[in-house]
Amino acid sequence: MMAIVLSDNNGHLFADERKDRILQLIETRDKISVPELVRQFNVSPATIRNDLRELEQLGLLRRIHGGALSMDVPTVGFEKGNEMKNQKFLNQKHSIAKKAMEFIEDGDVIVLDAGTTSIELARLIHKRSNITVVVNDLDIAECFEGVDGIQVLVIGGIVRKKFHCTVGPFATKILNELIVDKVFLSTNSFSLEKGCTTPDVSQAEIKHTMAKIASKVIVLCDSSKIGANSFVQFVPITEIDVLITDHHIEEHILQKLEESGIEIIVAKGS
């Protein structure tokens, strides 16, 4: 059956149709900005902000500065488990992982942080040889089972339920004894003001320690996480050497990141 799209004489969608389209976009992207919606629908920023306000009042999205988030995105103090994360942005995460592989050389000693993007990277590392990989993620450790040329050090500690990773003072103590070439960090949120942030205090402590022991800090962050903050900062922007994101990043955000002095790598779609 042919769909009928209602619009006025200027080609603008009627308000209800436009709001339906906004919800469809947020459902697939998790986050969307006011400037992006202005370009998409050819209406004023005030009109878009009014649409977002009405949709928030209906409990269909959550407004943030400059845009809106899906209700599926956790609030500052909460975090999705691995099962939920694994279903999101798989193409972007795979593209980011492929770019990250360009920074791994034969003979490297690296840390892979817990997270779904790190799992995508772990699945590619067999292409290198004589690599030592330090992990606190049980799923990532399993990726290397039976792989020749990869030595895996699994950090012990308290296992976070639903996240399959270790945290706590024992894990931090072991990490502090190590010296590594590179760390590949995942993050729940990233902003110019706060750098990398996460909802969980124990996870923040582990991530901070991983960054401290590495000669080079490489952050793996899909574009849906950029522009937001979570509860605890673990790496400020001044301590990041490279940030790898995907091609959905908005141009004005990319420009600001480049001005900050970080090396920005934009991974094209795979």
User: Mind listing the pLDDT tens digit for each residue in 16-25?
Assistant: 889 988 988 8
**Per residue in 81-123, pLDDT tens?**
444 444 456 888 999 999 999 999 999 999 999 988 999 999 9
DSSP character at residue 260: T
β-bridge pairing 31-33 and 67-70: antiparallel
> Residues 192-244: pLDDT tens digits?
999 999 999 999 999 999 999 999 999 999 988 898 888 999 999 999 999 99
Percentage of the chain modeled with pLDDT above 70: 87
CB 223, CB 189: distance < 8 Å: no
- Rounded mean pLDDT of 185-198? 94
Complete edge-to-edge strand list for the sheet that includes strand 195-198: 189-191, 195-198, 232-235
The pLDDT of residue 168 is above 90: yes
pLDDT of residue 13: 66
Q: Does domain 82-267 have CATH number 2.60.120.10?
A: no
pLDDT-based confidence at 75, cuts 50/70/90?
low
Residue 32 has pLDDT above 90, yes or no: no
Q: Report residue 208 CA to chain centroid gap.
A: 16
237 touches 192 (CB < 8 A): yes
What's at 235, amino acid-wise?
V
Lay out the sheet containing 61-64: strands in order across.
31-33, 67-70, 61-64
Q: Are 11 and 4 in contact (CB under 8 A)?
A: no
Inform me whether the pLDDT recorded for 11 exceeds 70: no
- Range(s) within the chain of domains with CATH label 1.10.10.10: 15-70
Ranges of CATH 3.40.50.1360 domains, the chain: 82-267
- In this predicted structure, what is the pLDDT of residue 117? 92
Query: Is pLDDT larger for residue 186 or for residue 227?
Result: 186
Does 15-70 carry CATH code 2.60.40.420? no
